Amino acid sequence: MPQLSLSWLGLGPWAASPWQLLLLAGASWFLARSLTKIYTFYDNCYRLRCFPQPPRRNWFWGHLGLAKWQRLISEGSARLDMFEHISLMTLDSLQKCVFSFDSNCQEQPSEYIAAILELSALVTKRHHQIFLYWDFLYYLTPDGRRFRRACDLVHDFTDAVIQERRCTLAAQDVDDFLKAKAKSKTVDFIDLLLLSKDENGKKLSDEDIRAEADTFMFGGHDTTASGLSWALYNLARHPEYQERCRKEVQDLLSNRDPKEIEWDDLAQLPFLTMCIKESLRLHPPVTIISRCCTRDVALPDGRVIPKGNVCAISIFGIHHNPSVWPDPEVYDPSRFDPESPQKRSPLAFIPFSAGPRNCIGQTFAMSEMKVVLALTLLRFRVLPDDTEPRRKPELILRAEGGLWLRLEPLSAGAE
């Protein structure tokens, strides 16, 4: 009997890689964790430092797509579906950080990005078709064939980057290569994977590298896009909080020209951080996760969940529990005020899950969300649309028919 859990995504060796995000098991999971530690180290030293502060001026501005928003607004379309635009933006910036590749996908069609979006849509669709959980049946369907084609395209892209990088590395001393990359602030995830070794000193195979890189691409784009879209929605619904965030950013950047966010600024935006957290509580991008009990689990009321059972854990439910969160439907950033810490369990707020399998990319995601919101609020006023969106939980939390908001450019003086 196929299980209604994410395990059905184990699609067989050659189709599975992009979906290992959701099922990185055993060795691969351990590897990904170790790599993330290395990555985080390099991240802090090199890549993320250059993420909001790139070597080429306005790199991040370009990857944010805000220039596009400004153009669309000047052309008169001030009403935008946030999911559509922000998903392209998160894919664009991830492609840059993982592969150092400029797809320019926000301005022109990109085959690779289209394939990732198609795979995400196909996985969601398949989730609702229980008979298609069997790979054998699925690959006989038109969707199954489209899935394979899109998988091939994504794999080919990653393989080509890996091969090109291997050639560069073969022609250069590793130390020189790293020094040059560090100097130009262009160390990316592929570099780290190529240079990484396991505990026995063995380098990663091309397949391992591909799986890890694809995992980051899939795990990082939709989730962050959902987090950002709902954060903008909540700020649009609460102009007083939006204005306070804008003021915080303006004060921070008041003596700077151009007004660009730098790495150290991210710790100087306490109210914006509170607003992001409250939005992740009210609209968690991942609403549900599952865990298999590796031992009997005793509940407070004496009942026991036997070992071997798969449990669905509702992040959405935990975040809306009225005994922990009074008036749970109210958007109130002060719940996360570090000045008046609440007596809550650390497990009352788990947008990135918890425990050993929590989100690898949470620091990256929080940084990206702060930069995007800060730079957006500096340039635009965000207003709610006429119709109230309805939450639509799929693999991530979406809104039925898209999440539409209106944008107004701020006057030069306000900036």
Chain contacts with ligand HEM (rule: CB under 6 A): 21, 24, 29, 215-216, 219-220, 223-224, 227, 285-286, 289, 351-353, 357-361, 364-365
Residue placing its CB nearer to ligand HEM in the complex, 184 or 358? 358
Query: Token pair for residue 380?
Result: 């635009």
Rounded to the nearest whole angstrom, what is the least distance from the CB of residue 76 to ligand HEM in the complex? 32
Give the separation between CA 222 and CA 120, rounded to whole angstroms. Answer: 9
Q: Give whole-number Cα distances, 4 to 134, 143, 223, in Å.
A: 12, 19, 21
Q: Binding site residues for heme, as ranges?
A: 359
Nearer Cβ to ligand HEM (174/347):
347
Position 377: which residue type?
L
CA distance 85 to 232: 12
Strand, helix or coil for residue 222: helix
Q: How far is the CB of 256 from ligand HEM (least distance, A)?
A: 27
CA gap 321, 147 in Å, rounded = 38
Please report how close the Cβ of residue 71 comes to ligand HEM at its closest, in angstroms: 27
Annotated binding site: 359
As measured in angstroms, the least distance from the Cβ of 140 to ligand HEM is: 29
DSSP 197: B
In the complex with ligand HEM, which residue's Cβ is closer, 361 or 389? 361
Going by C-alpha positions, the residue among 116, 75, 366 that lies closest to residue 67 is: 75
The minimum distance between CB 284 and ligand HEM, in angstroms, equals: 7
Residue 122: exposure state from Cβ atoms within 10 A (0-12, 13-18, ≥19): middle
Which residue(s) pair with 405 in the sheet? 80, 384
Nearer to ligand HEM, 65 or 351 (CB): 351
| Structure-block tokens of residue 413 | 């003086």
Residue placing its CB nearer to ligand HEM in the complex, 216 or 233: 216
The amino acid at residue 316 is F
Please count the other Cβ atoms lying within 10 Å of the Cβ belonging to residue 354. 15
State the first-to-last Cα distance of the chain, in angstroms, to the nearest integer.
Answer: 58
Q: How far is the CB of 21 from ligand HEM (least distance, A)?
A: 5
Q: Which residue is nearest to ligand HEM (CB)?
A: 361
Instruction: Name the strand (E) or helix (H) holding 297.
Output: strand 297-298
**In whole angstroms, what is the distance from residue 397 CA to residue 90 CA?**
16
SS3 content of the chain, % helix, strand, coil (to 5): 60, 10, 35
Cβ atoms of residues 15 and 8 within 8 Å:
no
What's the closest the beta carbon of residue 396 comes to ligand HEM, in angstroms? 8
Query: What is the DSSP code string of 344-406?
Result: --GGG--TT--GGGS-TTHHHHHHHHHHHHHHHHHHEEEEE-SSPP-EEESSSEEETT--EEE
C-alpha torsion sign, points 191, 192, 193, 194? positive
Integer CA distances (angstroms), 13 to 10, 123, 203, 247, 319, in order: 8, 17, 20, 51, 36
Identify which of residues 187 and 360 has a Cβ nearer to ligand HEM in the complex. Answer: 360
Compute the least distance from the CB of residue 364 to ligand HEM, in Å.
Answer: 5
Residue 234 Cβ, how far from ligand HEM at the closest point, in Å? 14
Between 268 and 363, name the residue whose CB sits nearer to ligand HEM. Answer: 363
Closer to ligand HEM by CB, 118 or 222: give it. 222
Q: Which is nearer to ligand HEM, 24 or 117 (CB)?
A: 24
